[in-house]
């Protein structure tokens, strides 16, 4: 890769992060249309990295690229979230099972345990944003430990939709104490090499998370059908 190509890739990633943040914060609201030129001016970038960024975000389900019309920010759909969680539940449960089967040492599970410890501290401090960041780290590390590159690719592609839904429900959900307990129980199953328990624990965890999230979206009218 040339220096120029590397620079372009770096700028595109910056554009992805910036547009994603604008969507998550609601500054780019669901259902709104935006021209590439508008987004480029807003980000202080040229149109090329913005165009590449919108194509990447379209693959993640955050926006729709409309030829000659710019982009439309996708609405948050309960049905979409149910489908996303159904897929994530199966793939992450498989990752949990595979991780437990490997026989990792405690040292190799350090990052997973550190994420749980960070979540515990965040709950004690009632810092939900830090908890959410640590939760992301836990799930990413879990999938990495599963060792299936295709599972990692699919989960990464869909995770932004979950983060978006969580970002608008973060402060109206109960304090996620039970979620942390599930994570620690899963860690123990992986540490002792119990693939059956690991899969069951994570399937239950993700299923309960889906029910909570979808219930909040319905109850507070935060989604579009």
Q: For residue range 6-15, what is the model confidence (pLDDT) as tens digits?
A: 455 688 999 9
State the angle between helix axes of 36-43 and 3-25 in degrees (0 to 180), rounded to the nearest 10. Answer: 100
CA separation for the pair 137, 131 (Å, rounded) = 10
Range in 15-19, 28-32, 183-187, 217-221 with the lowest mean pLDDT: 217-221
- Over 80: is that where the pLDDT of 188 sits? yes
CA separation for the pair 36, 48 (Å, rounded) = 9
CA separation for the pair 41, 61 (Å, rounded) = 23
Q: Are 58 and 16 in contact (CB under 8 A)?
A: no
The count of C-alpha atoms lying within 13 angstroms of the C-alpha of 137, restricted to the half-sphere facing its C-beta, is: 18
Confidence of residue 205 (pLDDT cuts 50, 70, 90): very high
Confidence of residue 99 (pLDDT cuts 50, 70, 90): very high
Confidence of residue 111 (pLDDT cuts 50, 70, 90): very high
Q: Which residues contact 69 (CB under 8 A, 6 or more apart)?
A: 33
- Over 80: is that where the pLDDT of 222 sits? no
Q: What pLDDT does residue 163 have?
A: 84
- Chain segment 27-67, per-residue pLDDT in tens: 888 788 999 999 999 999 999 999 999 999 888 778 899 88
Measured between its terminal Cα atoms, the distance across the chain in Å is 44
Confidence of residue 3 (pLDDT cuts 50, 70, 90): very low
Q: Which of 193, 192, 201 is nearest to 102 (CA)?
A: 193
Q: How many CB atoms lie within 10 A of CB 114?
A: 14
CA separation for the pair 185, 194 (Å, rounded) = 11
- Partners of 72 in beta bridges: 33, 64
Q: What pLDDT does residue 225 have?
A: 44
CA separation for the pair 73, 57 (Å, rounded) = 10
CA separation for the pair 113, 104 (Å, rounded) = 13
In 118-206, which ranges are E strands? Answer: none
- Taking phi first (over 0 means left), then psi (-120 to 50 degrees means alpha), and beta for anything else, what does residue 29 get? beta
Q: What average pLDDT does the chain have?
A: 89
pTM of the complete model: 0.78
């Amino acid at each position: 890769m040339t220096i120029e190509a590397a620079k372009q890739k770096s700028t595109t990633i910056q554009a992805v992060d910036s547009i994603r943040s604008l969507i998550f914060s609601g500054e780019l609201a669901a259902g709104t249309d935006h021209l590439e030129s508008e987004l480029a001016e807003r980000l202080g970038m040229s149109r090329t990295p913005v165009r590449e960024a919108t194509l990447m975000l379209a693959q993640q389900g955050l926006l729709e690229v409309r030829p000659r019309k710019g982009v439309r920010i996708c609405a948050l759909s309960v049905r979409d979230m149910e489908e996303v969680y159904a897929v994530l539940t199966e793939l992450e449960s498989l990752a949990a099972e595979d991780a437990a089967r490997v026989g990792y040492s405690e040292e190799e599970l350090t990052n997973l345990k550190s994420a749980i410890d960070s979540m515990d501290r965040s709950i004690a401090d009632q810092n939900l944003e830090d908890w959410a960041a640590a939760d992301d780290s836990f799930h990413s590390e879990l999938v990495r430990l599963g060792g299936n590159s295709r599972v990692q690719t699919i989960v990464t592609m869909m995770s932004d939709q979950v983060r978006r839904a969580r970002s608008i429900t973060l402060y109206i959900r109960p304090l996620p104490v039970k979620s942390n307990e599930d994570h620690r129980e899963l860690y123990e199953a992986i540490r002792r090499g119990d693939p059956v328990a690991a899969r069951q624990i994570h399937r239950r965890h993700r299923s309960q998370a889906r029910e909570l999230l979808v219930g909040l979206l319905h109850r507070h009218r935060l989604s579009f059908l």
